[in-house]
Each structure stands twice: as structure tokens, then as C-alpha cells.
Structure 1
């Protein structure tokens, strides 16, 4: 039996997986942005949960998380946003991207109950290493939730183990350090992606620092998709005054959609 992630995943040659922060700049705007991303060609939506100590996130996403936290956005009400997105027409899979502490505070049983009630398809927890996530992976399986695994170039002898067990798609980290817009791609990424693809039974997507069409063009022959986060969150920050004004919101959302379409053009060609 297929998971909801598999059922909702569009049939495309290459995946575009955008990341945005729930509640930035406002929960209602998050819903609008999700719809714009789907219209721009998103295959999967990563919905980041604002957190006060985001170890894997660079300054752009940290600022977005701070803005969302000022709106009193929590893991619980972020998950509830997904059902609103569904009612507005969002059909693609949604992955909750969160650190483990908010899940622990909410309680795993409460978390999975909310996930099921609000039509969430997947979970990604960057601060829980593969060797420590077996229990959570089992709970995901029991609840029909796809658990997304991260693998980095430094994983070396762990790549095969992580890739073999990957579900949904395998998230390959292109660069060491935190998230953020980067101007270049290190040469080592190509052999790393080839190694990951050798063992993975699911699409291999690359993220961390992917921010423009030139990078995507260079990578598309080596992977099955790209994850783009900081570049989109930075664009949202630029558009906040217009997004928050009812008179200019529609134009700002179209501006965002066109920006996204320009970045991912190599995926569609």
C-alpha cells in the first residue's frame, strides 16, 4: 500500500522541493506562499517549524524563525496550517521539518495524532542522527508518515546504510555547515551524489546552498531533484512589506511565484 507521500508526489523527471518557515511573515501568508510554490512547480513542500536554537540553519532562516516566533507560531499550529493549505487546494506532499525538541515537548503520540488529522505526509528531523532515529522511524511507519533521511559528504562509510533505508527521497547535503545561499558548488558533490544514487531506492535530492538556475543546471544530471530554502526565505523577507499589505499582497505573491519559476527553469527543460 502506497503512503500518502507517494500518492501525492507528482510524476516528474526532476523534483523541486522548496522550504519555507511556517508563520513567516504571518501564518495566513504561509498558506498563500505554499499555493504559489505548487503553481510554480513544487513537487514537495518542506514546512520549517520555527525554533529558537536551529543548529543547522544559517542567518536567513534564523531570522525567519525569529519573525515567526514573534507571531507565537508553534509546532502544533504549524501542523494545523497544513489542513488549511489542503482546503485551499494544496495537493503535493508536505513534510514537517523540525528539530526533535519541539516533538519531544509536544509528545510523540500527540505529534502523530496531529499529523494524521491535518494531512501531513512526511517528517524530517536534522538533529537526530540515523543511528538514533530508529524508534521514530518505526512510529512514522506505524502512522503512515514518510521519514526523510539526511546524508552528508562526511557520512563516508554510513552513506550506504542511510541511503538504503531512505524513504520518500534521500536528502543529500551539498555543503558542510549551516544552510544559506552559496555562489558555487564544491567539486566533491558530484562523486558524493553518484555514491548516494548507487544505494538509494528513492529519488536523490540535493540541498543546502542551492540558490540559482546555474547551480541547478550543473547538478541536474547527477541528482533527481533539488531542495531550495534560504534563497526563497530571503525573497520572502524582501517582499514582507508588500505581502502584509492587502492592496499589494496579490502582486507580491505573483512576484514570488515568478522568482521561483526563474530559479527552477532548468528542472522543467
Structure 2
């Protein structure tokens, strides 16, 4: 008899389960690799998995980002000054911690000029996928390379994160939404990280609804999200996830400055945002 047909490859689970109308959005946190140092960061990442955080946006640190505010720029500076957190180091870190994670997804953020410009894009994309990253967000990628990036990521089986602003033209928003295969990062406010929209995050509902027409991928909202109330407002706008960047990095910075236990302090921070996250363990 002929051999049975091969089983279809299951589609990867979405980064964020589509929220119900009355349910809370998932929580994604941004941190720079190397701040705190990688051995401490490993324990912190395992804690995030225990607490039910949905995603860690883990950045390969790069200097003088024009889109980041002072908190994240200081964090990148600390990581770069300490050394040991270039792209290869971060990929080794992900490969080490990935087998121990049950729930947490890792989206790697890398700056084109600092980390990828002098490497072969296709080879590096395969290396990122092989390390266990669940998605890739390329910062400041030249527009002429966008199609190549999408093609090489698809060939490597690596979902991509795309971005757009609430103020972006409708065609730009539609393109970003259509090209998102990990999730679409909707930047709530044009400016530097840590700044919030003047009308509040709940006012983004019309934009989120419009983007839904162009993507089946989850939609995450970031910039200016720092409190439980902000996360709730992101949920009220209909988004699938809230991304906290500057406030998360500031929690690490406070722990480092005061000499307190970084992992314990960050656990407290997470529980203040989501007081009873799913999958919590003692």
C-alpha cells in the first residue's frame, strides 16, 4: 500500500491569544539584554514565565536610539558598558533559556545598523530562529530591504513583528498590519518611548478596529503604558496585548541603584500590573 501522506505541520501558536471583549489584554514587557546582567536576567525571565507574562521583547542593546526616551537609553548604555550582550551573546542566552519556558514567548528586537548591517541577513535570520526566538522585530530597517527581510524570515519559519503609529497614513497602517506574522505593534504616540497619548489609550479603539480588517495577527499597543489602569485602557481599545517598556526598565534600574534583589523587585512590579496573572506559581 502507498505510504500515508505526511502529517501537516501545525501552525505556530499565536503570540497572544485573541482576547475576549471583557477579558484583559496579555502583558508584554520590554528589556535590554544585559540590563540586568545576563545571569540575573535568566532568573528574571524564568520568573516572568511563572507569573504568566505573555511575551518578553528582548532587545540587543544599541546606543543612542532616537525613538527611545532617557530610561531605555540609560539601560542600553549600562548593558553596552558591561559588555557581553551582542547579538551572538543574546542568541546564546535565548537558546539556553528557551527549553525551560512553558508560556513566555520571546520577541527579539535588533537594530539594523548596530547588529545586522554587516552580517548576511538570511543566515542571521536562520540563526535567530534556531536559537529559539519566537519572533523578530528589526529596528530602523532600510525600506529597500523590507521585502527581503519578510522573505528570509518566512523561509526560516520566523514570525515578524511589524510596527505602525496611530498617526501613520491608512495605507502605511494597512501594510504593516498585513505583513505582521508575529504581532502588529501599534505605537500609541508619536515620540519617544515612555510618552503616552494625550487622549488616553482607550481612545485608540477606532484605530485598532480599522487594523483588524488587514490582519489576522494579534495587535499589541505600546508607548506610555505603565500602570494596571493603562493596561486596562489598552484592553478597552480592543487590543490583544499591552506592551510596557520604560516602566519595566525603570523597575530594573531602581533595583540596581538600591542594591535590592532585581528578580524579587521585578516580580513585585509585574504583580502590581496584573495582580493575579494566569499560571502563577508559588
Q: State TM-score, norm by structure 1.
A: 0.86
Q: Which runs of 5+ in 1 are unaligned?
A: none
Counterpart for residue 259 of structure 1: 269
Identify, as 1 or 2, the structure richer in helix: 1
Q: Does the CA-based 8 Å contact 2:251-2:265 persist in structure 1?
A: no
In the alignment, the residues of structure 2 paired with residue 255 and residue 155 of structure 1 have an alpha-carbon distance, to the nearest angstrom, of 37
In the alignment, the residues of structure 2 paired with residue 237 and residue 70 of structure 1 have an alpha-carbon distance, to the nearest angstrom, of 15
Q: Does the CA-based 8 Å contact 1:80-1:114 persist in structure 2?
A: no
Match of 1:216 among 223, 231, 236: 231
Q: For the pair shown, which has the larger CA radius of gyration, 1 or 2?
A: 2
Counterpart for residue 180 of structure 2: 166
Deviation at 1:241, TM superposition (A): 5.0
- Aligned runs of 1:4-23 on 2, under 5 Å? 6-7=12-13, 9=15, 11=17, 13=19, 14-23=25-34
In the alignment, the residues of structure 2 paired with residue 229 and residue 22 of structure 1 have an alpha-carbon distance, to the nearest angstrom, of 13
In the alignment, the residues of structure 2 paired with residue 208 and residue 225 of structure 1 have an alpha-carbon distance, to the nearest angstrom, of 12
Counterpart for residue 128 of structure 1: 141
- Aligned runs of 1:134-145 on 2, under 5 Å? 134-145=147-158
Higher alpha-carbon deviation: 8-17 or 109-118: 8-17
In the alignment, the residues of structure 1 paired with residue 10 and residue 112 of structure 2 have an alpha-carbon distance, to the nearest angstrom, of 26
Match of 1:192 among 207, 211, 227: 207
Question: Would you say 1:105 and 2:121 are equivalent positions?
Answer: no
In the alignment, the residues of structure 1 paired with residue 102 and residue 245 of structure 2 have an alpha-carbon distance, to the nearest angstrom, of 19
Deviation digits for residues 98-120 of structure 1, max 9, x if unmatched?
11111112332442243133211
- Aligned runs of 1:44-193 on 2, under 5 Å? 44-72=55-83, 73-89=85-101, 91-101=103-113, 102-128=115-141, 132-157=145-170, 158-180=172-194, 182=196, 185=200, 188-193=203-208
Q: State TM-score, norm by structure 2.
A: 0.82
In the alignment, the residues of structure 2 paired with residue 89 and residue 220 of structure 1 have an alpha-carbon distance, to the nearest angstrom, of 25
Deviation at 1:127, TM superposition (A): 1.6
Deviation digits for residues 11-65 of structure 1, max 9, x if unmatched?
5733211111100121111212211222222112110111013122111110000
Q: Does the CA-based 8 Å contact 1:169-1:204 persist in structure 2?
A: yes
Q: 1:128 to 1:112 in 2, by over 3 A?
A: closer
Deviation at 1:149, TM superposition (A): 0.5
Q: Which runs of 5+ in 2 are unaligned?
A: 1-8, 20-24
Match of 2:250 among 234, 244, 248: 234
Counterpart for residue 43 of structure 1: 54
Higher alpha-carbon deviation: 151-160 or 107-116: 107-116
